[in-house]
Structure 1
């Protein structure tokens, strides 16, 4: 059992089938040899027969196979890896983003500034398994999705999921799911049908989750050519390691979640695409923990009650968000969209062929650093900031990958001429998905704080560790057009 887990607390969650803990930990049952999510509908096992693991990989390495009834590999991810800033959490974010598949364990360790041996020791000490086992569990999950949602030959699925050989693929599927790949495909649940060349999958979320609000917020910021919003579905181009992809995101029927329809250049990018969509939609958040803190504050209680489980829509790429934040300085949302669309035309990567109104992937940092932006309509100083930022991201001076140290990244951003505290904080909030960010000097937040009788300096510490979510509630009060659910009317009050 993973050392950091409280067995008594975990067992209470299992006995009550509490879905809020799905993804936080996994329950392994010695008498059946399977591991489940806490909310599994099967009969509750006796306490003496269960062990608890913080990752599916640890349960698999201990010899347990995934339950076919509750499908524990399809739960939301643990919110712990987004909340924490230590090296284990940063490693988990990078593994989820496919770093082991791209550059192996040496590349993962190098990104984190550790030796392979040090990193392995840290992960095993806390999670019970090393980076290879964690990446293997992710490959198994990708393989299951492909088997269930496509008609690809099994051999193609194996290599698309990242396995080095058919034998390795077959052995892993047997160990994890206790069946063969063809057997897993035969017993797959029915999935929504998509157009040819399109993968359709469901992205799970913890309740409550107001998917319409998240998609509306993203749609209000949609950049023509890169993103599209039709009032129900938000679509965008993703710049993935092996080529651009297009994803269409819409509310899922039934349980909380989102239906994602993906067109990939290469199937081996599926795991990365899913991880980035989950970050974009803030699907792995723990709404109960956030609402417990914010809802207990008299100033925010009415806002939280109106929009329980409110999320922080992010970006699939922090470097993209950083550039967009610079373009959005001191202009309206509409103005920022216009400038970003011009930059996209000037420096973006055209798709092989348009997909509806989507035409370009956002320019990568190295290309943007050398691009001619004179036609975008920026001042010379702002143009210089974009070039300096792109060059700093390209050479690693500003680390903005999934495993970046958030404090280090924020400090490096502020060292770029033209980037101040507000812009750096916005990148941390919506680019690096830091759940505890305050935006200093934000005018919309100040307007809301006046209504609440609070102050900027007070709020900067008042709602820790969930200040990013407090920002969203206050934005909803000040800029209701960005949110489909209008907050309650509050009387004007003096900040003094």
Structure 2
């Protein structure tokens, strides 16, 4: 997109918010970069240049606009939808791999040399992995500065900086303000009371409009595992297992943002927690592109027009969702919740939640790999499926996560006993984030398809759904929404 100068200029001149995060506008005369929807008077076209990432702008010597705050725009939908090495690298960087393991760790996860991954990122994104991670650290620092009373020294290390000097220099370079000035500016514009409990951070998660929360939040609330998830006071709440500790998040839909309230045992996990919440709610999707493609099918258009902006409810932990998918095979939503709750009570790590009813972290594969199969109230074949899955996840022979190659993961899942097309595809859709995952054999999908006059048999429906590609996972959400099931409604 950023190489199409004429299209970018039109987007800037029309202040089109759909392109926020897709590209960034850098102004040569002021040395400032903005999001396309910046409310200021657009610069002259000859003074504009366009970059694919905020890190690319910063690397070229531009600083963030104080008016439109381009560093807080939604993430690029490319990294959400693409499955190539650059997109996988971006997802891993967003998950903090470079901060924790360095560039060699990033390259090892992708199966490339350090030099190869640096060359690929620089060629496509205008910045290498260190610059991309630095831009993310700067944004994390800004969130902590503006939303917490933490001392600046603690913020520096929590954001991932190696020294206070690097923290000060980066903040001044990126935002043209000192850390103290940022905090004072935020206090003047948005005075806020101190958090109710230590480690609590409240922020807004932006998204591209439209967003239909009914199937998104409704699905998460209706399938919530007791002790790990709950719906309380108009928000979906759940526990998070994070690299440096654990957290509890409350996510409440608002007209123009998702209100996010995080309680973390270690502020170094802030970036990872935010990105996992964004991924959970599919906030970096491009609903306009999705809906335009689906609306082109005349039989599908009425569904899109009735509730545009549906997202795919995803997960904060791919391994957790894979376990829950197995527990949900051929049983009702209530039964799947019951089975998962038993695992949580027996093997999950207890946590304190003074503001609600959350009690445990979902058990990781290592904790489940040694469980006694006789304790599982499941058919023998499903016990075998579950134990094989958690063993493969625990020993690393099966990898599910932000940097996973979706086709390789599909093949490995399909090779496990008890994994048919439905289980493999639901994991690809919700755990791996494949926007084109499809469930032609799902009962709800087949019933909805028949009601619309679409083919009801899996083979015929798959052939008919070719025109919905690459957004068939979103088509599934629209088909599911035709049923009056609790997953399609916000709880009372």
**CA distance in structure 1 between the partners assigned to 2:58 and 2:35 by the alignment:** 13
Counterpart residue number, 2:447:
447
Pairwise mapping of residues 406-485 of structure 1 onto structure 2 (< 5 A)?
A: 406-455=406-455, 456-484=461-489
Is the Cα–Cα contact under 8 Å of residues 20 and 73 in structure 2 kept in the other structure?
Answer: yes
Counterpart residue number, 1:335:
335
C-alpha displacement of 1:479: 4.7
**Corresponding residue pairs, total:** 481
Counterpart residue number, 1:126:
124
Task: Please state whether the residue corresponding to 2:351 is helix, strand or coil.
Answer: strand
Pairwise mapping of residues 50-61 of structure 1 onto structure 2 (< 5 A)?
A: 50-61=48-59
Query: Alignment partner for residue 217 of structure 2, among 203, 212, 215?
Result: 215
Deviations, residues 12-54 of structure 1 (Å, cap 9, x unaligned): 0000000110010100001111100000011110111111011
Task: Please state whether the residue corresponding to 1:478 is helix, strand or coil.
Answer: coil
Counterpart residue number, 1:494:
none
**CA distance in structure 1 between the partners assigned to 2:418 and 2:213 by the alignment:** 35
Counterpart residue number, 1:26:
24
Counterpart residue number, 2:81:
83
Task: Please state whether the residue corresponding to 1:187 is helix, strand or coil.
Answer: helix
Query: Alignment partner for residue 201 of structure 1, among 200, 203, 209?
Result: 203
C-alpha displacement of 1:191: 6.5
CA RMSD of aligned residues (A): 1.5
Is the Cα–Cα contact under 8 Å of residues 428 and 434 in structure 1 kept in the other structure?
Answer: yes
Query: Which sits farther off after the overlay, 187-196 or 59-68?
Result: 187-196
Counterpart residue number, 1:173:
171
Counterpart residue number, 2:72:
74
Counterpart residue number, 2:362:
362
Is the Cα–Cα contact under 8 Å of residues 346 and 375 in structure 1 kept in the other structure?
Answer: no
C-alpha displacement of 1:477: 1.1
**CA distance in structure 2 between the partners assigned to 1:457 and 1:340 by the alignment:** 31
TM-score normalised over the length of structure 2 = 0.95
**CA distance in structure 2 between the partners assigned to 1:69 and 1:98 by the alignment:** 28
Task: Please state whether the residue corresponding to 1:297 is helix, strand or coil.
Answer: coil
- Cα distance change of structure 1 residues 236 and 191 upon mapping to structure 2, 3 Å threshold: farther
C-alpha displacement of 1:380: 2.4
Task: Please state whether the residue corresponding to 2:412 is helix, strand or coil.
Answer: helix
Query: Alignment partner for residue 142 of structure 1, among 140, 143, 147?
Result: 140
Task: Please state whether the residue corresponding to 1:470 is helix, strand or coil.
Answer: helix
TM-score normalised over the length of structure 1 = 0.94
Unaligned runs of 5+ residues in structure 2 are 456-460
C-alpha displacement of 1:192: 5.7
Task: Please state whether the residue corresponding to 2:424 is helix, strand or coil.
Answer: helix
Which contiguous aligned blocks of 4+ residues in structure 1 show a shift greater than 6 angstroms?
none
Counterpart residue number, 1:290:
290
Unaligned runs of 5+ residues in structure 1 are 486-496
Task: Please state whether the residue corresponding to 1:458 is helix, strand or coil.
Answer: helix
